[in-house]
Structure 1
Amino acid sequence: MNVVPNPVTVGPVKIGYGQPLALIAGPCVMEPGDLTRRIAARLVEICGELGVPLIFKASFDKANRTSGSSFRGPGLQGGMEVFRQVKAETGLPVTTDVHETIQAAPIAEVVDLLQVPAFLARQTDLLEAVAATGRAVNVKKGQFMAPWDMKNVVAKLQDFGAAGTLLTERGTTFGYGRLVNDMRAIPQMQETGAPVVFDATHSVQLPGGGEGGKTTAGQREMIPTLAKAAVAAGCDAVFLEVHPDPDKALSDGPNSLRLDDLAGLLRTLLRVREAVAG
């Protein structure tokens, strides 16, 4: 296997060895109107005040919703236009999910970091397609995978010539409708040579735990606990889905952080990071 680039460069942001704690954040899905752009602008203000490197995240299509009737987003063309506007207005690098091989190239024309969803972490053709774009790639560890299994994902991406590889821990399936986090996964995945991101919001999901099993529920109150533990365990970046009013969010509201709570949480995480580094 080729040497894994670390730190990984995404626009002006560097994630990995010797770098400050970074944040990947934004709404779960692009909602109608200008909400996505307003969230991005607020994130710039918060992270600018705290000196936290930021990558903006939003999904243009939630292709893995629990119910077929759930809101999915504006689609590829509409989503890329939103990202163009966000980048023009904020200067932020952006990231989004790639669900199919044919999406990789058009997404990479706009998006700086391509994200492979956890359910697709082992899909070789998809990994090859995202690596071929010349963009850095973030792969979420499958809920069904052990941390050490991700070495094979890293090997595939390096063999395909990926410009940079990030791995994200987002919980492991434990029984029916429950996820758990083993913080040992963070240093274990870092042994691959790739920087590791901790997804504190998807980790508190209760898959299929919503009304009639048609939606995903979540334990939003546990986000700070898991985020603090992950930073103490040495993660290189934190992933948070945020929304001004999570109870009204069109996707993943129960496990999204209230936007007004972000600054306080980041201050705490930075203190944890400083304590661990010291």
Structure 2
Amino acid sequence: MRLGDGIFFLIAGPCVIESEDLVLKTAEQIARIAAAHKVPLIFKSSYDKANRTAVSSFRGMGMEEGLKILQKVKEKVGVPVLSDVHGPEEATAAAEVLDVLQIPAFLCRQTDLLLAAGKTGKVVNVKKGQFLAPWDMANVVEKLESTGNRKIFLTERGASFGYNNLVSDMRSLVIMRRTGYPVVFDGTHSVQLPGGGGKVSSGQREFVLPLTRAAVAAGCDGLFLEVHPSPDQAPSDGPNMIDPGQLNQLLGQVGRILRALEDGGER
């Protein structure tokens, strides 16, 4: 049985790889929390954040060093790993380590990237662009399926709503599920305020938990949550990331919602 086919799952980790020590310690902590709540974990951290607000923004440790660190997460923590890929050649190289290739939201319509990711045979998680309607993701799915790959996740991360603002439309989860593939709700990027800090993006962390609870109740198959031990000191996405304590609290709430849905015959 695949994740999403009756098995609720979690994608979580720091926004960007800052150091080997931080990544390994955070992965171990998140893995313990996920195991306590009996939620399968895919660890996420980006070796390169190519879409940053300013040229001076921290992007990560780069693909070569980042993949070495993610390989250590696989070996020492024993969980699958995910990172963003930005070009066709990069997808092929990254697939040697990554279990899940993530297509960033702003690249979700890049045909050559999607085809290259699909051809690796790895799971491909596509973030829905902030500029796309949920039904437009059917075309993204068609591109991936053309490679023979059926291991696909679709992730909702909010839609542009005026300047420096996003809104989460829960209908999107239902609509994208009609493609037949698992749909993930990105609870942390959905509260981001893109470019809202001038040369950095801002965010509204206080809305992560309520929006995530709503998405679970609406029927998503998994969650994407960026988790950092000290979000306010993080060099990327700090204002919208949560800490491990908040993750533990949220997964407890999610478990109760899922049980209520099962009791009502909704899952």
Report what 2:195 is aligned to. Answer: 208
State the TM-score, normalized to the length of structure 2.
0.97
Are positions 1:98 and 2:98 aligned together? Answer: no
Report what 1:233 is aligned to. Answer: 218
Distance in 1 between the 2:17 and 2:193 partners?
22
Structure 1 residue 277: deviation in Å?
2.1
Asked if the contact 1:135–1:163 (Cα under 8 Å) also holds between the matched residues in 2, the reply is no
Runs of 4+ in 1 over 3 A off after TM superposition: none
Are positions 1:31 and 2:15 aligned together? Answer: no
Please, which of 159, 174, 190 is the counterpart of residue 177 of structure 2?
190
Are positions 1:17 and 2:5 aligned together? Answer: yes
Please, which of 92, 95, 98 is the counterpart of residue 111 of structure 1?
98
Asked if the contact 1:40–1:56 (Cα under 8 Å) also holds between the matched residues in 2, the reply is yes
Q: For residues 81-138 of structure 1, what are the alpha-carbon distances to aligned partners after superposition, in whole Å with 9 as ceiling and x for unaligned? A: 0011111101100001011111011100000010000000101000001001110101
1:215 partner amino acid: V
Distance in 1 between the 2:149 and 2:66 partners?
24
Report what 1:221 is aligned to. Answer: 206
Report what 1:11 is aligned to. Answer: none
Are positions 1:248 and 2:237 aligned together? Answer: no
Are positions 1:259 and 2:244 aligned together? Answer: yes
Report what 1:274 is aligned to. Answer: 259
Distance in 1 between the 2:57 and 2:11 partners?
24
Q: For residues 34-86 of structure 1, what are the alpha-carbon distances to aligned partners after superposition, in whole Å with 9 as ceiling and x for unaligned? A: 10110000011111111111000000001000001011111010011001111
Distance in 1 between the 2:19 and 2:248 partners?
25
Structure 1 residue 163: deviation in Å?
4.1
Structure 1 residue 33: deviation in Å?
4.5
Report what 2:132 is aligned to. Answer: 145
Distance in 1 between the 2:248 and 2:148 partners?
37
State the TM-score, normalized to the length of structure 1.
0.93
Report what 2:72 is aligned to. Answer: 85
Distance in 1 between the 2:138 and 2:117 partners?
17
| Structure 2 stretches lacking a partner, 5+ long | none
Secondary structure (helix, strand or coil) at the match of 2:12 reads strand
| Structure 1 stretches lacking a partner, 5+ long | 1-6, 8-13
Are positions 1:44 and 2:22 aligned together? Answer: no
Asked if the contact 1:177–1:207 (Cα under 8 Å) also holds between the matched residues in 2, the reply is yes
